[in-house]
Amino acid sequence: MLRLEARPAPSAVMGALSPVIALAMTVVFGTLLFLALGKNPVAGLKVFFVTPLETVRGWSEVGLKMTPLLLCALGLALCYRSNVWNIGAEGQFVVGGVAAGGVALLAGADTPRAFFVVVLLAGIAGGMAWASLTALLRDRFNANEILVSLMLTYVGGLLLIYLVNGPWKDPKGFNFPYSKTFDAMAMVPKLMPGTRLTWGVVIAAVVLVLVWIFVARSKAGFRLAVAGHAPLAARFAGFSAREGIWMSLLICGALAGLAGALEVAGPLGQLTPQISPGYGFAAIIVAWLGRLHPGGCVFAAFVMALIYIGGELSQSRLGLPSAITGVFQGMLLLSLLTADTFIHYRVRRG
C-alpha cells in the first residue's frame, strides 16, 4: 500500500517543479479530453499551444491577453504574500473599468491626446476604492476578506449592468446595452499598427519591474512578507497588521483597476455588460502557478493567455463549446493543487 507521509521540511525541488508538472498534467488531461470528445488530440493541443504563436498577429493577441492577467496576478500575489486572501480582483477589475469608462465618455473632439492618462488614473482610483471596502470591513469588523471581496465582485458586475442599461446606454445603439464608443483621445494608443496590441503591454512591463523592486528591495515589501509568513515575528518586530491589510488590498485594487481601464480603453473601446471574460478569477491561478513571484507570474500569464486564445480558436476550428476555456483552466488549477501536495508530503509504502 502507498500512503502520504509529511515531510520534515517543505521540498524546495518540488516547489520549483510543481508548476511544470501541473502544466504537463494539463496537457495529458487535455489529450484525454479531446479523445473523449472525438477530436484529434494533436490538432486540439496545437490550437491551444502552437497556433497562437505562428504569426505576429497571434503574438500580439497573446500580449493583449497577458496584460490584464499579469496586472491582476501581481496584485493578488502581494495580497497572498501578506496572508490577505483577496478573491475579488474580478470585481476591482470591473469597477476600475467602469470608472475609466465614465471618464472616457467625457472626451470630445477638443480633448487633448494625453487624456487617456486621466482615463487610466480613473481606473486605478476605481479599483482602489472598491478594494478599500474589503480592507475597511476586515480592519474594523474583522470580516472575512474572502467572502467580502467575492460578494463585492457580483455587486460590481450589477453596477456595470445598471449603467449600460440605464444612464450610460448609447441612445443611438438600437437599444443594445452598450455605452457609446469612446472618442479616440480617450483610447490607449496602439503599439503595433494592424493589430489590437496597445501600449498597455508596456505599462504592464513597467509595473512588473516596480512590483519586483517593491517585493525584493523595499522595506515595505519585506514587512508584508514577514507579516504573511510569520505574523508573530511581525508583531514582535512592531509591524502593523492593519498596515499590511490596507497596503496589499489597495495595491491589488489599483493594479486590477488599471487592468480594467486598459481593457475598456483599449481593445473594447466602450462599456459592455461583460468587459471581462474572467481575468480576475483566472489571475488567482496565474499568481499561484507563478509561485507568487513577479517573474513566475509572467510565465503563468503567458500560459493562461494561450489557454484563452486557444479556447476561442477551438470554437471556430474544432467546433468545441466556449466552456472549453474554463475546463482547461480548471484542469490547470487541479493539477497545480495536486502537484503542490508533494511539496509538504511524500509517498511511502506502508
pLDDT tens digit string along 172-197? 989 999 999 999 999 999 998 889 99
Assign 321 a pLDDT band (cuts: 50, 70, 90): very high
- Each domain of the chain, given as residue ranges in start order, spans 68-282
pLDDT tens digit string along 242-272? 888 999 999 999 999 999 999 999 999 999 9
Burial class (CB in 10 A: 0-12, 13-18, 19+), 263: buried
Helix (H, G, I), strand (E, B) or coil at 6: strand
Predicted local distance difference test score (pLDDT) of residue 223: 85
pLDDT tens digit string along 17-60? 999 999 999 999 999 999 999 999 999 999 999 999 999 999 99
Assign 283 a pLDDT band (cuts: 50, 70, 90): very high
Check whether 239 has a pLDDT greater than 90: no
DSSP secondary structure of 235-254: HHTT--HHHHHHHHHHHHHH
How far is residue 126's CA from residue 121's CA, in Å, rounded to a whole number? 9
Predicted local distance difference test score (pLDDT) of residue 309: 96
For the question of whether the overall pTM of this predicted structure is more than 0.85, the answer is yes
